[in-house]
């Protein structure tokens, strides 16, 4: 079985129970619900289907609620054409009788400065600010012309937008997602750590508790996010390399370099990371991927990402189940090769604690002994994430009594999760060994490293070894 996780966006091509069940059987671990589309009613149905399938398929399936974020769009009500070299006005509301680009984000125009770029429709059309007329009006030179259509997306990579990662719509969607038991919440267009911390505080207020919250997935897709990358990773639970907008905001030729840099930093801080956007894009229309797409997925696995993600391929493509099966095979074949093997621990030494030192010791014990597997109990998921970060080839079996954590383990590389009842905690080793033996994951005589983590990170975990009987 593969260790790298697959995240699949659920949409019109996959939002019925039959297709969604097939996706999960083919390798999907996390279902992404994109709140840029659909309604609370339609998205709520996906939540319910996933919850039903968890019980029927008896496996952890994460639900990722992806908030739209402060998406900037063309505010003009009618299409118009611009030509290269032309000078036009730009405002956040129609102010002149002349040709004018309207941007639908109030207050953004006053942040523009000379030299800032405005990219429209994934950068196909581009302008550069040449004169600040007033706080509400600027002049811009057209760099790439064409037809400007209403509601098309706008990127402003050189401008500090300053209106936060969570809009009024997002706040409503966040509350809806949390009350429907989302395991992960993705923030779009994150700029700094404060936005993440504010969202976490909002979640605490909505749920009325300090712990057992949905994990925050910060999407790295803006120039500001790259500038503040270290603090964003530190404040986040999970990172997503959102290569679509990242490739618009920054040089396309450097996107893969940023991907590798982000994954390396996440490994050092033991934070799960997802590589996303256009991984199997041609399979929206075609039954097989391009060779470049196969290489893209394989290289993300070799980089040691925790997960790879499908967007339009699984949401509205012609072959959602076949796409997942193909991605699963690419991942599995790559993991079986020697190219994704690593021999060193990626922990940043600044993070070292007594707790992590014991986890590292358990890792060394598993690597240097004849152990077939590592079995651990975790209440928060922390111990599992620390062990997963070593990317051992051994079987990693994780037991928990927390349903939220159980489904959040769906994003953790290599973790095979089991949900126990509260009264089963103390005898989890015997229970899990018996289950694994019955499922042919382990056999009589296999040696196993056992770790019991603690909810309180100040209390040290215990490690030992046992044998399957």
Read off the pLDDT of residues 140-186 as tens digits, 9 standing for 90 and up: 999 999 999 998 889 999 998 877 778 899 999 999 999 999 999 99
- Out of 2.40.33.10, 3.40.50.1970, 3.40.1190.10, 1.10.150.120, select the CATH number for domain 72-155: 2.40.33.10
338 Cβ contact partners less than 8 Å away, ≥ 6 residues apart = none
Is 5-69+164-335's fold the same as 349-467's?
A: no
- Mean of per-residue pLDDT scores for the chain: 92
Output the pLDDT for position 273.
Answer: 98
Superfamily assignment of 5-69+164-335 in CATH?
Phosphoenolpyruvate-binding domains (3.20.20.60)
Read off the pLDDT of residues 49-71 as tens digits, 9 standing for 90 and up: 999 999 999 999 999 999 999 88
Is 121 a residue whose pLDDT tops 80? yes
For residues 469 and 450, give the distance between their C-alpha atoms in angstroms, rounded to a whole number: 15
Strands lying side by side in the sheet with 137-144: 72-73, 153-155, 117-120, 125-134, 137-144, 87-91, 100-102
Q: Could you tell me the pLDDT band of residue 109, with boundaries at 50, 70 and 90?
A: very high
Topology of the domain comprising 349-467: Pyruvate Kinase; Chain: A, domain 1 (3.40.1380)
Output the pLDDT for position 351.
Answer: 66
Per the CB < 8 A criterion, the answer to whether 60 and 360 are in contact is no
Output the pLDDT for position 129.
Answer: 97
Exposed e or buried b per residue across 331-355, where buried means at least 16 C-beta atoms within 10 angstroms of its C-beta:
bbebbeeeebeeeebbbeeeeeeeb
Per DSSP, the three-state class of 119 is: strand
Between 388 and 1, residue with greater pLDDT: 388
Q: Could you tell me the pLDDT band of residue 427, with boundaries at 50, 70 and 90?
A: confident
Sign of CA dihedral 229, 231, 233, 239: negative
Q: Could you tell me the pLDDT band of residue 453, with boundaries at 50, 70 and 90?
A: low
- DSSP H stretches of helix in 85-192: 168-179
Output the pLDDT for position 345.
Answer: 52
Output the pLDDT for position 348.
Answer: 59
Output the pLDDT for position 421.
Answer: 87
Q: Could you tell me the pLDDT band of residue 339, with boundaries at 50, 70 and 90?
A: confident
Per the CB < 8 A criterion, the answer to whether 410 and 183 are in contact is yes
Structure-block tokens of residue 442: 């382990």
Read off the pLDDT of residues 248-261 as tens digits, 9 standing for 90 and up: 888 889 999 999 99
Enzyme catalytic residues: 32, 73, 219, 277
Read off the pLDDT of residues 340-371 as tens digits, 9 standing for 90 and up: 776 555 555 566 788 888 888 898 899 889 99
For residues 266 and 122, give the distance between their C-alpha atoms in angstroms, rounded to a whole number: 27
- Give the start-to-end residue ranges of the domains of the chain: 5-69+164-335, 72-155, 349-467
For residues 207 and 108, give the distance between their C-alpha atoms in angstroms, rounded to a whole number: 33
Bridge partners (DSSP) listed for residue 377: 399, 452
């Amino acid at each position: 079985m593969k260790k790298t996780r697959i995240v699949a966006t659920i949409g019109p091509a996959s939002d019925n129970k039959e297709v969604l069940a097939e996706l999960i059987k083919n390798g999907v671990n996390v279902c992404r619900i994109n709140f840029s589309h659909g309604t609370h009613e339609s998205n709520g149905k996906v939540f319910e289907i996933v919850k039903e399938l968890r019980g029927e398929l008896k496996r952890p399936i994460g639900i990722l609620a992806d908030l739209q974020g402060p998406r900037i769009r063309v505010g003009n009500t009618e299409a118009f054409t611009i030509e290269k070299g032309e000078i036009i006005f730009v405002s956040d509301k129609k102010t002149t009788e002349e040709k004018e680009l309207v941007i639908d984000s109030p207050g953004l125009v006053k942040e523009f400065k000379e030299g800032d770029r405005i990219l429209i429709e994934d950068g196909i059309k581009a302008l550069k600010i040449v004169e600040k007329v007033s706080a509400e009006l600027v002049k811009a030179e057209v760099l790439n012309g064409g037809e400007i259509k209403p509601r098309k997306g706008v990127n402003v990579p050189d401008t500090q937008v300053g209106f936060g990662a969570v809009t009024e719509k997002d706040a409503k969607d966040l509350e809806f997602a949390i009350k429907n038991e989302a395991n992960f919440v993705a923030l779009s267009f994150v700029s700094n750590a404060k936005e993440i911390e504010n969202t976490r505080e909002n979640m605490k207020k909505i749920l009325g508790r300090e712990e057992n919250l949905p994990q925050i997935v910060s999407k790295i897709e803006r120039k500001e996010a790259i500038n503040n990358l270290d603090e964003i990773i530190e404040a986040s639970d999970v990172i997503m390399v959102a290569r679509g907008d990242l490739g618009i905001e920054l040089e396309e030729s450097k996107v893969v370099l940023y991907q590798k840099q982000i994954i390396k930093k996440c490994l050092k801080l033991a934070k799960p990371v997802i590589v996303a956007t256009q991984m199997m894009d041609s399979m929206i229309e075609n039954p097989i991927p391009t060779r470049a797409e196969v290489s893209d997925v394989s290289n993300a696995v070799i980089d040691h990402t925790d997960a790879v993600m499908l967007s339009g391929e699984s949401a509205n493509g012609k072959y959602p189940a076949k796409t997942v099966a193909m991605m699963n095979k690419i991942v599995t074949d790559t993991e079986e090769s020697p190219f994704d093997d690593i021999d060193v621990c990626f922990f940043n030494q600044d993070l070292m604690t007594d707790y992590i030192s014991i986890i590292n010791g358990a890792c060394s014990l598993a690597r240097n002994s004849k152990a077939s597997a590592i079995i651990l109990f975790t209440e928060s998921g922390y111990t599992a994430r620390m062990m997963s970060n070593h990317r051992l080839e051994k079987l990693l079996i994780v037991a928990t009594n927390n349903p939220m954590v159980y489904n959040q383990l769906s994003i953790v590389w290599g973790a095979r999760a089991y949900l126990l009842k509260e009264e089963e905690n103390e005898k989890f080793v015997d229970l899990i060994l018996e289950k694994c033996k019955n499922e042919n994951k382990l056999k009589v005589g296999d040696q196993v490293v056992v770790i019991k983590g603690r909810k309180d990170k100040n209390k040290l975990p215990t490690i030992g070894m046992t044998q399957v009987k």
